[in-house]
Homo-oligomer: A and B are copies of this chain.
Amino acid sequence: MTSADVAASTLHPAERDAMARALTLAATDGLVLGSNPRVGCVLLDADGATLAEGFHRGAGTPHAEAVALTNARHAVGPDALRGATAVVTLEPCAHTGRTGPCAHALRDAGVGRVVYAQTDPHRVAAGGAQVLRDAGIDVVDAADLLDDDLASRVRDLNHAWTTAVTLGRPYVTWKVATSLDGRTAAADGTSRWITSAAARRDVHRLRAGVDTVLVGTGTLLADDPALTVRDAVGAQPLRAVMGLRDVPAGARLASPGPDGSRALHLRTRDPRAALAELWDHERRHVLLEGGRTLAAAFWRAGLVDEVVAYVAPVLLGAGPAAVADLGITTITGAARLDVTGVTLVAPDDADAPGDTTVRLALRPRKEQ
């Protein structure tokens, strides 16, 4: 297979398989991505056989394409890449950041064809496809050529990052844990625990998938949360608190985290200002935890991208509602969401056998 054998608008079966493999590589667990997306790359020779693979391990480390090129040179030698095809999950960057631009590296290596699954949404880094085309390389934007399975894997791989980069602010996931009747505490304010031990451990996994965990000063003063990730595989997320009140010296958030990091105090009540400051700290995915007033402020500002709700099989009948006033007065104004995932969190040994928690992932519905 040479680049001339395959039209620019079709995908060779070997390239389809390579893309599936590149997606698997990109989705490797336990990466410390920082502000960067997940990317995987597979290099194929002229016969469609795999020359080398690579994936990105996070900000400050080489990009997926660079890793794969290095691996190919080690394995096959410097000339192995003449006429090779690079299959990449994301459009190669044209931007010199902490590493050189991948489009140049692919061009200079003599690659004959580049297939990528997603256009780079980043205004600064984009333009790699044009650089490659200008060098006479076959470039295939495969977004519309993938089957449904691969296309949905591409969408899911960097959903939060893509949204963040497109909007120019961190992606916001609002986590809420409630009783079956929508309460977060009993009448006297006690709330430990409404959800099962298994559900609380699931929250740690949720935290491990974001780069920032945010609470309001109200929650800080009421609950003194630690906001750390138990058994973290990757990095601890940044712990952030938002509001005008001071963080007491004795608060858990005033102490360094398990990795020695300090919490960040955003001295504002404006969700947009808080997100702008987090963006400047290279944050791309914020988890709102606790603070029904804080969450309502984000919601009313249209700054919630996703809701993750843990519904526990518990009735309280009284106590604070999980969700504060959203400004909705009548049923036609109800905030409708689309369910994107439902998981049953089975009880663990510390829980009662029937203590199944339902975990819903939802996205606010566009055009209501």
Contact = CB atoms under 8 A, between A and B. Distances in A.
Identical chains in the assembly: 2
Contacts of A342: 344, 356, 358
A336 interface: yes
A70 B339 CA distance: 53
Nearest to A337: B313
Interface residues of A, number: 58
Given A315-B326, A317-B325, A324-B317, A334 B186 contact: yes
A180 interface: yes
A185 B354 contact: no
A303 to B, nearest CB: 15
Interface string A311-353: 1011111100111111111111111111110101000000011
B334 A314 contact: yes
Nearest to A191: B331
Interface string A168-212: 000000000011111101111011111000000000000000000
Given A317-B328, A355-B338, A182 B360 contact: no
Contact of A316 (B316, B326, B352, B362): B326
Given A181-B178, A333-B186, A360-B180, A339 B355 contact: yes
9 nearest A-B residue pairs (beta carbon): A182-B182, A338-B354, A317-B326, A339-B356, A181-B323, A190-B331, A315-B335, A181-B182, A313-B337
Interface of A: 178-183, 185-188, 190-194, 296, 299, 307, 309, 311, 313-318, 321-340, 342, 344, 352-356, 358, 360, 362-363, 365
